Amino acid sequence: MFDKLFEFISSCWQWLIPFIVLEPYHRGVITRLGKFHREIGPGFHWQWPCSIEHAIYGSVVTNTQMLAAQPLTTLDGQQISLQPLLTYHVVDVKKLYLEVEDRSNALHDTAAGVIASEAAKRTWDEVRSEAFPKEVLKAVRRRGFRYGIEVDDVQFAGLQKTRSYLLLQSHKYE
């Protein structure tokens, strides 16, 4: 009987805590009754309990994300595969936490689309050049700012020509 009471009290305790403490690498926002109230940084912050105010926060330090290898076709018809590595950090917590629905995949999906679009505009030799990652970085950075994220670098861990599986299968039966 007391275990149920203790469980109930411990679950309600989180609802009643009138403060929040953020770590040095966290930034966030406080909403009051569902509306933006203020931005918060590291340290101790008072907040109204009982869900009157709600803190949304996360890490803003530099992070890296390896995207899945993308099979693409260049302007000259070459089948290629490239695997991008993004380095980024959060610069606008209000925009990221209040205006972006799926924060974890927003940058990933945007970068994959931009990279595919940029590769399709170029030949194989242009994609292999030193200028290609810089041009992709500019385009991905512009998109990232829309979400409150600054992209610091785009690198390609794997960039190679590939063969179409369908093409290999058609030669098999000839």
pLDDT per residue as tens digits for the range 133-150? 999 999 999 999 999 999
All structural domains of the chain = 2-59 (no CATH), 63-166 (3.30.479.30)
HEC string for the chain:
CHHHHHHHHHHHHHHHCCEEEECCCEEEEEEECCEEEEEECCEEEECCCCCCEEEEEEECCCEEEECCCEEEECCCCCEEEEEEEEEEEECCHHHHHHHCCCHHHHHHHHHHHHHHHHHHCCCHHHHHCCHHHHHHHHHHHHHHHCCCEEEEEEEEEEEEECCCHHHHHHHHCC
pLDDT per residue as tens digits for the range 51-109? 788 898 999 999 999 989 989 989 998 899 999 999 999 999 999 999 988 887 888 88
Min mean pLDDT across 27-41, 64-78, 150-164 is at: 150-164
